[in-house]
Amino acid sequence: MNALIKSATIVDSKSDFHNETVDILIEKGRISKISKRIPNPDNYKEIKLDNLHVSQGWFDSSVSFGEPGYEERETIDNGLKTAAESGFTAVALNANTNPVIDSYADITFVKAKAQNKATSLYPIGALTKSSNSKDLAELYDMRNAGAVAFYDYQKPISNPNLLKIALQYASNFNGLIFSFPQESKISGLGVVNEHVNSTRLGLKGNPTLAEELQIARDLFLLEYTEGKLHIPTISTAKSVELIREAKAKKLDITSSVAIHNLVLTDDQLNSFDTRYKVLPPLRTQHDCDALIEGLKDGTIDMVTTDHNPIDIEDKKIEFDHAKYGTIGLEAAFGALQTVFTTKKAVSLLTQGKSRFGIKETTINVGETANLSLFNPEGKYQFNKTDITSKSKNSAYLGLDLKGKVYGVVANNKVVIK
């Protein structure tokens, strides 16, 4: 793939051309020249877009596409197209499938389905067989097939000994273990944040204690085993404090936060709209502020869309019975820019790769072209025409977002929405 990107402002603190507006020549998938003005040598494809900015390719550590088993929600093919149009050059795929991705063959299958796409797919294998929380899955075999981590998606590990053994076993091959932060006996039948709004609306509450108690337990186990742990999608102020203390102890711990838990609160629940039924639930503004501060000071390591397509039959029903989840790839950049500067939003979207063993690239001559293309300016209201996903269960519909994503240049391909 040969292309010439015209008049692009580079947003990459590791680049020799950070904050400069330049032309970028790409030949055979590599950056061959960066200069103020580059003539088109052989009638290469030109990419010239309004107020074009480019950064290192963005990474999402938690996406679900459904396939295999839930293709009516999303396929790998369309999911990766959605990711590319949303600016992501790499995504980690959850084992949120049927059958669950829990073997060497399953990892091989999803990797094969993702070949020759602009966006690279990195499978997360299930931690336990069929994600049943009883017996460890074939972790080492899945690692050899290409799994980058192990996670029973949104299913808490209720047995502490199981997590202890997983951390100890995976440390033999530097494996990364996820533990979903929820103590199910405390959360019970709660479907929203336990607070004033849950009482006022008559919806069963899921208290912050359920998350914090599980995190505290997991951190004790991590300290004991000296393993490698990632806590996905934290949502409370106290959770940030607990992880901050663990990092001060030099434990091998990382965490992420879902973007919707940064920009939305449980005040959205007034309409009983199931688009806002997510797990962990939307919390209070106090929690949002603490999570944002945790990202600013490095306590929280990365953001994620926690993109989870759900079919309309499982969303357009009573709140108590609706499935948890929102799609988020298409709105990620615009939503982040409502609470962070462009520089910080881009930084957050490019963080986390090294934790999953994914190579990082910079925008310099000789590097592989792995670029996200966007315009950081302009406000718009997010609506269904902005959605590429098969499912439309977006919590961002109707929100005012900032900035437009054009697409990506990656894996020898150009995808422009």
Per domain, the residue ranges of the chain are: 3-53+365-379+401-416, 57-356
Check residue 42 and give its pLDDT: 87
Would you call 60 a catalytic residue per the annotation?
no
* Distance from C-alpha of 240 to C-alpha of 341, rounded to nearest angstrom: 21
Query: pLDDT tens digits, residue range 28-63?
Result: 999 999 999 999 978 899 999 999 999 999 999 999
Give φ, ψ of 64 to 5 degrees.
-125, 135
CB contact set of 1 (below 8 Å; sequence gap of 6+)? 26, 28, 29, 369, 412, 413, 414
CB contact set of 202 (below 8 Å; sequence gap of 6+)? none
- CATH number for the domain running over 3-53+365-379+401-416: 2.30.40.10
> Does domain 57-356 bear CATH number 3.10.450.50?
no
Q: With the CA atoms of 45, 49, 54 and 59 taken in that order, what torsion angle do they form, in degrees rounded to the nearest 10? A: -90
* Distance from C-alpha of 287 to C-alpha of 280, rounded to nearest angstrom: 12
End-to-end CA distance of the chain: 18
Question: Residues 211, 237: contact at Cβ < 8 Å?
Answer: no
* Distance from C-alpha of 158 to C-alpha of 31, rounded to nearest angstrom: 48
Residue in 306, 314, 320, 386 annotated catalytic: 306
Element (H, E) at 140: helix 139-145
Burial pattern 35-64, b for ≥16 Cβ within 10 A else e, equals: eeebeeeeebeebebeebbbbbbbbbbbbb
Give the pLDDT band (50/70/90) at residue 171: very high
Fold equal for 3-53+365-379+401-416 and 57-356 = no
Query: pLDDT tens digits, residue range 295-343?
Result: 999 999 999 999 999 999 999 999 999 999 999 999 999 999 999 999 9
pLDDT > 80? residue 69: yes
Q: Is 313 exposed, middle or buried (0-12, 13-18, 19+ CB in 10 A)?
A: exposed
Q: Please report, rounded to a whole number, the percentage of residues in the chain having pLDDT higher than 90.
A: 99
